[in-house]
Amino acid sequence: MDFDLNEDRRMLQDTLGRFLREQYTIEKRLEFAQSEQGYSSQMWQQFADLGIIGALFDEKAGGYGGHGDDLMVVFEQLGKALVVEPILSSAVLSGTILSSLNSDLVEQIISGQTQVSLAHLEPESRYDLAHISASAVQDADDWVINAHKSMVLGASSANRLIVSARTGGEANDENGISLFLVDPMASGVELRSYSTIDGYGAADVFLVNSPAQLLGDKDKAFALIELAHARAIVAICAQCLGACEVAKDMTVEYMHTRKQFGVIIGKFQVLQHRMADVLIELEQMRSSIINAAGYLEDGRILREKHVSAAKNLIGRAGRQIAEEAIQIHGGIAMTWEASVSHYAKHIIMIDHLFGDTDHHLERYIELN
């Protein structure tokens, strides 16, 4: 057994970590998040040029990584800087699907030229990947889609959308879901763009009789959608871990400097113990992600069990860590000025992406 990163991944980690520490300060991050576009095009291109996007694809697809540990290494660093560029939606969610289908869009994604966004869940789906009621009908050689897709990450800047829709089956069937490529400029496509409370760009996407092109096999897309989400969950869990580490470091540092009653607050045993628990939970988080990343290329049940385990654990531990970080900082953590507040917001809101603690607990029980 070996839990160490190999040489290549250590380099990837160091390069990305250094780049982010130097170039992606919290001030810049807030500026990017609050800008009209919601992220920085320049940063986006730099991530591509640094090979960060390529690291998320395997060699067959033209990348140089693409395994669980690559996702883990990259997203842990992105989480440490609260990076808002839509790497997750383009390279992981859409990238997994497109590379499995040998799409030539992958090359453009890796180079940073193209962004693709996956529009899958709907207002009624909650977190259920099979609960899809959008419809696609064939019209001669073309397909036409009607859909309302919710909380589509990275949608506003996407050059292409991957949209799921029913070509058969009932609202909850895994069978009968197909994927389509849609041009966001095409007729009938409308975006309602917004920012999430933790500063990430998303949109509700409406399609009314919009032209679309079938991707992969008709009716059989569920397995691929599930795989894309498994990989996205590993990524977002690692992102959460990175954010939690920073929140922990900030809190410990504050405990060393903030004085009340004539001593640093780090001297209060009750706070010491709670930070000790935070540290334990961080290690648990890391281990659960190692498990999920390690089984990512195994059979479905094994893979999904560990994916759900990680997402459940991260939801619980994340809440604890974010809430402790705020509480132990006291009033100052309640402010926009204090960067720890932005970390706390992101850590908490990750529970709302790709299934929360309860969803994955239930799923874990079912898979077991």
Partner 1 sequence: MDLGYSESELAYRDEVREFLATRLPKRIANLVKNGKRLAKRDYEEWQAILNARGWLAPNWPKEHGGAEWSAVQKHIFEEECCIAGAPRILPFGLGMLAPVLMKFGSEQQKAHYLPRILDGTDWWCQGYSEPGAGSDLASLKTKAERQGDHYIVNGQKTWTTLGQYADWIFCLVRTSSEGKRQEGISFLLIDMKTPGIEIRPIILLDGEHEVNEVFFTDVKVPVENLVGEENKGWTYAKYLLTHERTGTAGIGFSNAALAHLKSIASTQMKSGRPLKQDPYFAARMAQVEIDLEALKTTNLRVLVQADSGAAPGPESSMLKIKGTVIRQEINDLARRALGPYALPFVSEALDEGYNESPIGPHYANPIAAEYFNNRKLSIFAGSNEIQRGIISKTKLGL
Ligand X SMILES: Cc1cc2nc3c(=O)[nH]c(=O)nc-3n(C[C@H](O)[C@H](O)[C@H](O)COP(=O)(O)OP(=O)(O)OC[C@H]3O[C@@H](n4cnc5c(N)ncnc54)[C@H](O)[C@@H]3O)c2cc1C
Cβ atoms within 10 A of the Cβ of 186, count? Answer: 13
* Minimum separation from the CB atom of position 184 to partner 1 (A): 18
Q: Which two tokens stand for residue 132?
A: 């899809």
What x-and-dash track marks residues 299-338 binding ligand X by CB under 6 A? ----------------------------xx-xx--x----
- Alpha-carbon span 279 to 285, nearest angstrom: 10
**Nearest alpha carbon to residue 134 among 104, 155, 164, 95:** 164
Q: Residues touching ligand X: how many (CB under 6 A)?
A: 12
Q: Which of 40, 110, 348, 364 is in the footprint of partner 1 by CB under 8 A?
A: 348
Q: Which of 41, 213, 280, 330 is in the footprint of partner 1 by CB under 8 A?
A: 330
* Minimum separation from the CB atom of position 161 to partner 1 (A): 17
* Minimum separation from the CB atom of position 258 to ligand X (A): 5
Residues from 251 through 310 that contact ligand X (CB under 6 A): 258, 260-261, 265, 268, 270-271
Residue 203: beta bridge partners? Answer: 152, 193
- Burial of 257-288, coded b for 16+ CB within 10 Å and e otherwise, reads eeeeeeeebbeeeebeebbeebeebbeebbeb
CB of 76 within 8 A of CB of 242? Answer: yes
| Identity of the residue, 191 or 212, whose beta carbon is nearer to partner 1 in the bound complex | 191
Residue corresponding to tokens 């320049």: 42
Q: Give kind and range of the element (H or E) at residue 28.
A: helix 26-34
Residue 356, class by beta-carbon neighbours within 10 Å (0-12 exposed, 13-18 middle, 19+ buried)? middle
Q: Which two tokens stand for residue 137?
A: 């009908």
**Nearest alpha carbon to residue 97 among 275, 217, 264, 259:** 217
Could you say which of ligand X, partner 1, none residue 342 binds, taking C-beta under 5 to 8 angstroms by partner kind? partner 1
- Alpha-carbon span 115 to 231, nearest angstrom: 18
Q: Which of 46, 195, 284, 320 is in the footprint of partner 1 by CB under 8 A?
A: 195
| Identity of the residue, 208 or 334, whose beta carbon is nearer to ligand X in the bound complex | 334
CB of 97 within 8 A of CB of 225? Answer: yes
**Nearest alpha carbon to residue 123 among 104, 147, 103, 106:** 147
* Minimum separation from the CB atom of position 270 to ligand X (A): 5
What x-and-dash track marks residues 34-73 binding partner 1 by CB under 8 A? ----------------------------------------
* Minimum separation from the CB atom of position 330 to partner 1 (A): 5
Could you say which of partner 1, ligand X, none residue 233 binds, taking C-beta under 5 to 8 angstroms by partner kind? none
* Minimum separation from the CB atom of position 77 to partner 1 (A): 23
- Alpha-carbon span 224 to 235, nearest angstrom: 17
Could you say which of partner 1, ligand X, none residue 231 binds, taking C-beta under 5 to 8 angstroms by partner kind? none
Chain residue at closest Cβ approach to ligand X: 330
Query: Half-sphere exposure (CA, 13 Å, Cβ side) for 207?
Result: 31
- Alpha-carbon span 290 to 73, nearest angstrom: 11
Residues from 187 through 226 that contact ligand X (CB under 6 A): none
Could you say which of partner 1, ligand X, none residue 267 binds, taking C-beta under 5 to 8 angstroms by partner kind? none
What x-and-dash track marks residues 141-180 binding partner 1 by CB under 8 A? ---------xx--------------------x--------
The DSSP output letter for 33 is H
| Residue 222 region by backbone torsions, left for phi larger than 0, else alpha for psi between -120 and 50, else beta | alpha
Contact positions toward partner 1, by CB under 8 A?
Answer: 121, 123-124, 126-128, 150-151, 172, 192, 194-198, 200, 202, 204, 259-262, 268, 270-271, 319, 323, 326-327, 330-331, 333-338, 341-342, 344-345, 348-349, 351-353, 356, 358, 361-362
Contact positions toward ligand X, by CB under 6 A?
Answer: 258, 260-261, 265, 268, 270-271, 327-328, 330-331, 334
